[in-house]
Structure 1
């Protein structure tokens, strides 16, 4: 038995598909099939059965894979903590959505954190599916996912199945952000119907999970916009908002200093036109919050309070 065999088997279990597991592990499908077959031969059991919906763990397979997943996760944590002699207290990997209040909280945390001889930070802005994969499979310390409140039960069910802990960190409604000289600027409220003639900036990699096909449309109201630009890098959104006069974007509420830096303003959407959204922090179930993560969560609460008071 090798760690690679266990990682392959666990990933197939999570994905329900050898092809999807191969994509995530950057391996080819025949190699994964061979490794799993050898693992089954060694332990004299069948881990998976093929069904119309994909690869499904057998009863014996579920028992085996549950223990294998714990072993893989603990090994990743061990390597993450001690590889190259880096102190785990100064090594942080986080995956989260694009949100200026989150980057400000992270920067504040980092600036106030005691410096040691080595500091390793990975800050990965991405979509919900990747965030969950980073925390459940790739050894990330913490993740944050964002979704309409209607999908809360779906996400919590998925996170529980993946043995992840979760904690609500913010409830909000999207704001409309635009240039100070935008035709709709200066108003407290803007109606969605009024945005149809302007150019929407939309993050192009907000992939939906399989149980929520309507999520991207629900997030960004894409069906309303005649003109839109899909972007994949958060810095571009501020450049475009600043340099293209008729652009706008639906975002989580921005801190005032961020608006001032880029010459932007934000307006509210009527409550009957946009629902509540939730940012949820997720961590591995068997891992305690590090000092850095605890400080980060405190900063999020502080900045959330500032935004809501503005």
Structure 2
């Protein structure tokens, strides 16, 4: 097995077509096919199902791809560390739930490593995809929360994917509402007070159960619920419909509407917000700096 074979494997999977991958890699189609076949033979599996329409990754192939991406990423980090290539293309990817502090740290990382060209990815996405992204090597880090309601299920899934969870901070329950909401002047809000208002939640696709929800109130029966896909839409509905969403309580008015305010929720539970990553992996300098800024931003926010 060589790094070149692993690069071939990843490129074929991304293209979904041997011919297109060969053109992208500047190799002949027969050479690429032989390299992939030899890798499959060495690993004792079939990575792709071939047809006249292209290739489809098998279940064994998905597992092999996750290791291939991880090894290629670690090799790149090692080269970057020892060769000190200041002109190497900055690359970093993080997948997260919809947290403004995660975006703030990402912005600072991009500014810190600004260059003539770079490839940074921030994926505010569904909970299950965050775990899959990190497991498959698409993202170095993932950010999500655990609570007494979802911890058993998510912890088992994280462990099954050979990942680890590291806590960043513990948050008490809050809700985001508009500054003109009928409950805006309340010092602390009770769940019963919220039931007549629309509850805004992030849609979770096929995994649309309370275990994968970003909002811990999803375990309760709320009579009015609206699902959305992005943060801007959610906050527009919070303002326009006197809606609310459950949260960690940390919000940045520079990235979100200044009309959104945070109110403590009278509820006996906590959110353990943290990162997921591959165990024993060497983080790139971009991921390392991102974590540094993330902790600094959280420290500053929690002091307020």
- On the 8 A contact 2:96/2:125 being kept in 1, the answer is yes
**Whole-angstrom distance in 2 between the partners of 1:293 and 1:285:** 14
Q: Give secondary structure in 1 for the equivalent of 2:180.
A: coil
Shift of 1:203: 0.7
Shift of 1:222: 6.2
Q: Tell whether 2:288 aligns with 1:291.
A: no
Q: TM-score, normalised by structure 1?
A: 0.68
Partner of 2:229: 232
Deviations 1:149-198 (A, max 9, x none): 45445544433333324321122133111111111002221001110101
1:70 to 1:44, Cα distance in 2 relative to 1, 3 A: closer
Structure 1 residues 229-238 or 279-288, which shifts more? 279-288
1:245 to 1:77, Cα distance in 2 relative to 1, 3 A: same
Structure 1 residues 275-284 or 250-259, which shifts more? 250-259
- On the 8 A contact 1:92/1:122 being kept in 2, the answer is yes
**Whole-angstrom distance in 1 between the partners of 2:242 and 2:210:** 29
Q: CA RMSD in A?
A: 4.2
- How many correspondences in the alignment? 266
Match of 2:259 among 244, 252, 263: 263
- On the 8 A contact 1:196/1:224 being kept in 2, the answer is no
Q: TM-score, normalised by structure 2?
A: 0.69
- On the 8 A contact 1:77/1:139 being kept in 2, the answer is no
Q: Give secondary structure in 2 for the equivalent of 1:221.
A: helix
Shift of 1:88: 6.1
1:105 to 1:77, Cα distance in 2 relative to 1, 3 A: same
Pick the structure with more helix per residue: 1
1:42 to 1:267, Cα distance in 2 relative to 1, 3 A: closer
- On the 8 A contact 1:98/1:126 being kept in 2, the answer is yes
**Whole-angstrom distance in 2 between the partners of 1:40 and 1:291:** 31
Q: Give secondary structure in 2 for the equivalent of 1:158.
A: helix
**Whole-angstrom distance in 2 between the partners of 1:248 and 1:68:** 40
**Whole-angstrom distance in 1 between the partners of 2:234 and 2:194:** 17
- Structure 1's unaligned 5+ residue stretches are 8-23, 28-37, 48-56
Q: Give secondary structure in 2 for the equivalent of 1:116.
A: coil
**Whole-angstrom distance in 1 between the partners of 2:137 and 2:256:** 37
- On the 8 A contact 1:144/1:281 being kept in 2, the answer is yes
Aligned counterparts, 1:21-100, within 5 A: 42=41, 70-71=67-68, 73-75=70-72, 90-100=90-100
Q: Give secondary structure in 1 for the equivalent of 2:226.
A: strand
Partner of 1:178: 177
Q: Tell whether 2:110 aligns with 1:136.
A: no
**Whole-angstrom distance in 1 between the partners of 2:227 and 2:244:** 12
Q: Give secondary structure in 2 for the equivalent of 1:288.
A: coil
